[in-house]
Structure 1
Amino acid sequence: MELRQLVYFDAVVRHGGFTRAAEQLRVAQPAVSAQIRRLEAELGVPVLERTTRRVRLTRAGELVLARARRAFGELDGVRDDLAALAAELRGRVRIGSIQATGPFDLPGALAAFQRRFPEVELSLRSGRLSQLVADLDAELIDLAIGPLPADLPARVSGLPLFTDELVLITAPDHPLAGRGPLPMEALREEIFACLPAGSGLRRLLDQVCAAAGFAARVRYETNIVPQVRELVSHGLGVALLARSVAEAPGRPVAVHPVLPAPIDRPVGLLHLRDRALGPAAQRCHAFLAAWPPARDAG
């Protein structure tokens, strides 16, 4: 089996036929047909069903194509590695991030990027979304990881990375602790702990409480997200937090999904649309967008 056979096979599938595949590959159509026939002869099974109007993958063809495309991906990775080695990618990438990055392992991603591109200087700072956008505008950072609200400024490009559910938390001995999912109305008389006014989390809390017909009484404010959880664990109030923070190691809290429907917060990779990223920042953006790397389940 030759790589050319797999490339021609992939082209036929992507372009819906032998003629268009040949045009894209800039070879004669009989050459494409010949390579597919050789591939099928070597495999001993047909990979395409041919009709007068179209081609369609057989079940064997589906399996072969999936493996072939994984192989193409590995080859692309080899080319990238060699290109990076040859060019010795240099420069700096300044990243800003919210504190709670949920299931996205940002330290692991940055460490992997640094191992692959040791000549690139990375830096990281944390902040709320409003601060991250201001830092992008001021050219203090190149990339940011933050929430993707509906009113994200149009000048900011946001690529989704993950979604974190927002949940209510109470102290383990709170009267509501054993009730499981809760409507916001159940917390009408409660004292809240939260980030300060102006933060995305505070805005979400105010919105969901207003929708439930009351204003949240926030008596405990902190800029440190895990500290919100600590305040609740000591019985000083209740809070709305990302599930990843609520379920993090520490003093116990009771976690309550919000009724009648989960509150999901999408988080993404941000940069300014009208500002070109340098080579190192471009590579870092692509690396983070693809993190964690795909693994072959087989």
Structure 2
Amino acid sequence: MELRQLTYFEAVARCGGFTRAAQQLHVAQSAVSAQIRALESELGVTLFSRTTRRVTLTAAGARFLEHARAALSELDSARGEIAELSDVLRGRVAIGATSVLGPFDLSAALAGFHGRYPGVGLTLRSGLIATLLGRLDSGEVDLVLGPIHDDLPARFAAGQLATESVVLVLPPGTRPITGLSGVREKAFVCLAAESGLRAILDDAAKAAGFTPQVLFETSSPASIRELVSAGLGVALLAQSAAERDGPPIQICRLEPAPAHPPIGLIQHREHRLTAAARACRRHLLESAA
């Protein structure tokens, strides 16, 4: 049994005749008829009832059609997967990631992806989420990993990777506290005013009945930790950032704890991902799961 015979058989069944099937297949009608006769001979059954006016499937032909279409569908799927794999192996992926990713281990996930697709080039850019979303808009990056804020514009689609918590960090040796109001008179260290962390701080302080005095602005959670460790102020910080190795700090879990947006994988709805970027997206989501 040959693939060509299955293709011709399915075309005759779908078109309702040999002539129309031959026209659609761009082959001679005699070639179609010969292949169908050879297929019937091999199977030992008649697949079509032929009259001068019409061609219809026999009971055996109708049953065989189900299997033929399933086989052709599987073959088309296999061809598509092989073609996509070929595209993946030649591709490049640009990823933007914030420094706060909760418990999600991006380095390990990318190492796993590289092991599966060693020929794919990877570019990793870091920054604040607003900056990275701008790069996603411009097409500089294919995917962004970072916090999914409630005001994420509708042009972006996001899938959750991990959850994150917010803690209060104090200079080392400071007496622990459980309420944010306990540091209302302290100087705060935070990211820039347009950052998500600043919004979290402002909302939490408002709920505690005061306006935080941010005397030190910095560009990364790591530098927040350094400034707090040096005794220049206190700060709210993502728990994952506070628990990393670094300068000593005092970590306090607040009651109630300020909400932190989930960590997600973000893509642009209007930008079609390359085969390599689609493969990377699947791998990152699988790694999170």
When normalised by structure 2's length, the TM-score is: 0.68
SS at match of 1:173: coil
**d(CA) in 2 for partners of 1:141, 1:256:** 36
Q: Helix, strand or coil for the counterpart of 1:236?
A: coil
Pair 149,87 (structure 1): closer, same or farther in 2 beyond 3 Å: closer
Q: Kindly report which structure 2 residues correspond to 1:160-199, keeping only aligned pairs within 5 A, or say none.
A: 160-174=160-174, 177-179=175-177, 182-199=178-195
**AA at the equivalent of 2:179:** P
SS in 1 for 2:282: helix
Match of residue 219, structure 1, among 215, 224, 227: 215
Task: Write the distance in 1 (CA, Å) between the matches of 2:141 and 2:87.
Answer: 24
**Secondary structure, in 3 states, of the residue corresponding to 1:231?**
helix
Question: What is the match of residue 204 of structure 1?
Answer: 200
Q: How does 1:246-257 map to 2 (within 5 A)?
A: 246-257=242-253
Residue 115 of structure 1 is matched in structure 2 by 115
One-letter amino acid of the structure 1 residue matched with residue 143 of structure 2: L
C-alpha distance in structure 1 between counterparts of 2:85 and 2:154, whole Å: 37
Unpaired runs of at least 5, structure 1: 1-25, 28-79
Report matched runs for 1:16-35 at 5 Å: none
1:168–1:81 distance in 2 versus 1, CA, 3 Å: farther
Q: How does 1:220-259 map to 2 (within 5 A)?
A: 220-259=216-255
- Return the index of the structure with the highest Cα Rg: 2
Aligned-partner residue type, residue 215 of structure 1: T
Superposed, 1:281-292 pairs within 5 Å as 281-292=277-288
Change (3 A) 1:86 1:168: same
Please give the alpha-carbon distance, in whole angstroms, between the structure 2 residues aligned to 1:95 and 1:249: 24
Distance across 2 between alignment mates of 1:265 and 1:189: 27
Q: Say yes or no: does 1:150 pair with 2:142.
A: no
- The letter for the 2-side match of 1:170 is L
Give secondary structure in 2 for the equivalent of 1:245.
Answer: helix
Q: Offset at 1:84? A: 7.7
**How many angstroms does 1:85 deviate by?**
6.9
Quote how far apart the aligned CAs of 1:271 are.
0.3
Give the letter aligned to residue 128 of structure 1: L
- Using the TM superposition, give the Cα deviation of residue 173 of structure 1 relative to its aligned residue in structure 2, in angstroms: 2.3
- Which residue pairs with 2:93 in the alignment? 93
Equivalent pair of 1:194/1:201 in contact (CA under 8 Å): yes
8 Å CA contact 2:171–2:231 kept in 1: the answer is yes
Q: Which runs of 5+ in 2 are unaligned?
A: 1-65, 68-79
Number of residue equivalences: 213
| Shift of residue 91, structure 1, vs aligned partner | 1.1
Secondary structure of 1:135 counterpart: helix
Corresponding residue SS for 1:230: helix
1:231 and 1:130 map into 2 onto residues whose CA distance is 23
Task: Note if 1:266 corresponds to 2:262.
Answer: yes
Secondary structure of the corresponding residue to residue 203 of structure 1: helix
Please list the CA deviations of residues 128-186 of structure 1 after superposition, one character each: whole Å capped at 9, or x if unmatched: 11111111111111000011111111111010000110100111222xx234xx22211
C-alpha spacing 1:254/1:97, structure 2 compared with 1 (3 Å):
same
CA distance in 1, matches of 2:96, 2:257: 31
Q: CA deviation at 1:87?
A: 6.2
CA RMSD of aligned residues (A): 2.3
3-state SS of 2:161 partner:
strand
Instruction: Map Cα deviations across residues 34-85 of structure 1 (whole Å, 9 max, x no partner).
Output: xxxxxxxxxxxxxxxxxxxxxxxxxxxxxxxxxxxxxxxxxxxxxx998887
Counterpart amino acid of 1:210? Answer: K
Identity of aligned residues (%): 44
Q: Which amino acid aligns with 1:126?
A: S
Q: How does 1:129-144 map to 2 (within 5 A)?
A: 129-144=129-144
CA shift for structure 1 position 208? 1.2
Letter of the 1:129 counterpart = I
Tell me, what secondary structure is at the counterpart of 1:240? Answer: strand
Q: TM-score, normalised by structure 1?
A: 0.66
Q: Note if contact 2:166-2:236 (Cα within 8 Å) is conserved in structure 1.
A: yes
2:96 counterpart letter in structure 1: G
> Equivalent residue of 1:107, what SS?
helix
For the residues of structure 1 that align with 2:228 and 2:278, how far apart are their CA atoms? 41
SS of the equivalent of 1:164 reads coil
SS at match of 2:124: strand
